Structure 1
Amino acid sequence: METIVWIVHALACLGVIGLVLLQHGKGADMGAAFGSGASGSLFGVTGSTNFLSRATAILVAVFFTTSLTLAYMSSHRTKASSVMDAHKTVLVPAADANKAATPAPAAPAKSQEVPK
């Protein structure tokens, strides 16, 4: 579930960035009046402004919702919160540590007689 929210969040982020870059600034309307070519766009003079503004507002709402959802999911996790919590160190008591440190004596080798 969290992966799906992350994917939607990333797509909404990229969509907002793209739509904001497509929109004209406040001074762009004056250039269209003198024939800069912006008035002959796909949506017409005012159609692109309404469409891009509404699409941006919708994607911003999706981005905001996914941000809150991810924050909620992160704060209510029951798994280990860090790598160190996931790999707990097992402590060996001192008596067992001494036994493990000294090697066991090697058994004497038995001599085998080779038959003649």
Structure 2
Amino acid sequence: METVVIVIHLMIVLALVGVVLLQRSEGGGLGIGGGSGFMTARGAANALTRATAILAAAFFATSLVLSLIARYGDRPIDILDRVPATQGEGGGVLDQLGGSDVPSAPAPAAPADATPPPANPPAS
């Protein structure tokens, strides 16, 4: 559902950009525009204005729908909602995220009187 709305939203955005670029400039900030444009008739300008308004309304509608889908979707809203909370075990959120193969308790030390095995066993 979300993918369909995103595709429709992108098509509306592209159409809106195209319609805005087709409109006749009235001597904008750079002083360019006017003259002989692609659509200079009064009726064409009225149609482009109406199309811009319709596409702008559709853009706002799809934006609202996408925000509602994101808010009330099945996915958790907060990243901390994805990790189950443990209490009393001493582990926090960072301990549950993983990413380390180091055991939580240190390995027991070897007894002081134990002799290490020989590095190279005798050849027989």
Q: Following superposition, which runs of at least 4 residues in structure 1 exceed 4 angstroms of deviation?
A: 81-88
State which of 47, 54, 65 in structure 1 corresponds to 2:50. 54
Aligned-residue CA RMSD (Å) = 3.8
Matched, 1:75 2:71: yes
Q: Deviations over 1:49-71 (max 9, x none)?
A: 01111111111011000000011
**Hey, what's the Cα distance between the residues in 2 that align with 1:37 and 1:73?**
45
Structure 1: unaligned runs, 5 residues or longer: 94-116
**Normalised TM-score (structure 2):** 0.54
1:44 positional shift: 5.7
1:84 positional shift: 7.7
- Count of residue pairs the alignment pairs up: 101
Aligned-pair identity in percent equals: 37
Structure 2: unaligned runs, 5 residues or longer: 90-124
**Normalised TM-score (structure 1):** 0.57
1:18 positional shift: 1.0
1:83 positional shift: 7.4
Q: Which has the higher contact order (CA 8 A, sep 6+)?
A: 1
More helix by share: 1
